[in-house]
Structure 1
Amino acid sequence: MRYGTTASACAAVIRRDLLLTWRRRGDALNPALFAIMVVVMFPLALGPEPNQLANVSVGIVFVAVLLAGLLALDNLFRGDHEDGTLEQVVLSPHPLSLLLGSKILVHWLSTALPLIVISPALAEMLHLPRSVMPVLIVALILATLLLSLLGAVCVALTIGMRRSGMLLALLVLPLYVPVLIFAAGACNAAQMGLPFLAPLLWLGAALALALVLAPLACAAALRISIT
């Protein structure tokens, strides 16, 4: 990889963010711990009856993952904005959308991927049938990638504001609801023995669109928020 190219710049961003994540690995595990606590609370509130838990297990897992992701979303660009790194990224001669896409990828790897890894254990705690596990994993991968991209745009819009947590939640949640509906709908259909491919295809189509448009929108929002 040649020095000074866009590919080398993106690789440098990924290496830097992964190193920072490793140094703050305790903070990176907070979303996973939060999701575990949320899932554990539901059997205590609803009771240990397996059939009752199985009927709501998909919704519980997705709500836990959504809330855990929302918990870590504000940190996507906040640290870089506070130490001045984000301004240097914006002023870089390389395409800003690709550099931000690299940062979003690292954020997904450090926050969503651990949630996906522990999701079979969470689903097992809620007595979700094992035949539904593959659909759950695929739906979580598509949904979390899409949520990270949509959330990054909202974070970029509010990065210049202090104490923007409530505003960020108000911006993000309406965008998250359709993703939650399609992802949970695919798993519920698989659990009932119905066709489940259509919701996954809709999620895949939305993800393909977001992969192209979200980094561009994020770059434009950052330029507006910083300048």
Structure 2
Amino acid sequence: MIPIILRDVQLALRSGGGFGLTLAFFLVLVMFVPFGIGANLELLARIAPGMLWIGALLSCILSLDRIFQLDWEDGTLEALATSPIPLSGIVLSKATAHWITTGLPLTMISLPLGYLLNLPPAQYGLVLLSLLCGTPALSFIGAFGAALTVGVKRGGLLLSLLVMPLYIPTLILGAQSVAVGTAEPGIMLALLAALSLCCVVFIPAVSALALRANLR
């Protein structure tokens, strides 16, 4: 499975389209918030965790259709499905590669962007930890949606509509882990990490069923 992860990471870095688009969208979204809210630094500090999480979530959605669609179009997905690697292992590899090229960069760039939103210094570490714990869930839930819509023409909008309701628990836990982190340290982060772990364990098998049905 490691060669699949390395291949997808290299393709994402070489193409640059999806990889750069997610970061650019995140940057633009966060930069526009102060213009819309105004110069109220107290208000910006209060909404900063939620805005960073919303920005990361929406940026992640932009690249979900690339998880399987490109391999579907050139026939690589069918070849992978007939390989000795289980289909659930292929889903696990591709979702992991998506997190490496999308979730991890979004987590890293959130720290300097937090400065634009007047994020309190005490919350920088909590934002980093919450995104590290929560973005794997975004990638794996997105992989499930991508598996359901693979092969559908112009399925990007359908994919977004499918995964957005599933993203709500992750968004709530992620934003609240920063907002209440000083009062209840570790509780929300533990729930967020547990949610991501459940996604890593169970979603590849469910997504494999969806892919198998679409490949018939």
TM-score class, shorter:
over 0.9
Partner of residue 197, structure 1: 186
Give the unaligned 5+ runs of structure 1.
1-9
CA contact (8 A) 1:31 1:111 kept: yes
CA contact (8 A) 1:187 1:196 kept: no
The two structures have a TM-score, normalised by structure 1, of 0.91
Aligned identity (percent) is 36
Number of residue pairs matched?
216
Q: CA RMSD in A?
A: 1.2
CA distance in 1, matches of 2:40, 2:195: 37
How do 1:15-94 residues align onto structure 2 when only pairs under 5 Å count? 15-94=6-85
CA distance in 2, matches of 1:147, 1:18: 17
Amino acid at match of 2:69: R
Deviation digits for residues 14-52 of structure 1 (CA, Å, limit 9, x no counterpart): 222122122112431110110010011110011122111
CA contact (8 A) 1:29 1:111 kept: no
Amino acid at match of 1:72: S
Amino acid at match of 1:129: P
CA contact (8 A) 2:18 2:63 kept: no
Amino acid at match of 1:123: G
Deviation digits for residues 115-167 of structure 1 (CA, Å, limit 9, x no counterpart): 11110111111111111111111110121101111110111011021111221
Partner of residue 119, structure 2: 128
CA contact (8 A) 1:153 1:214 kept: yes
CA distance in 1, matches of 2:85, 2:47: 47
The structure that has the greater radius of gyration is: 1
- Runs (4+) of structure 1 moved beyond 6 Å? none
1:221 aligns with 2:201: no
Partner of residue 137, structure 1: 128
Aligned partner of residue 74 in structure 1, secondary structure: helix
Give the unaligned 5+ runs of structure 2.
none
CA contact (8 A) 2:81 2:87 kept: yes
Question: Does 203-212 or 18-27 show the bigger shift?
Answer: 18-27
The two structures have a TM-score, normalised by structure 2, of 0.96
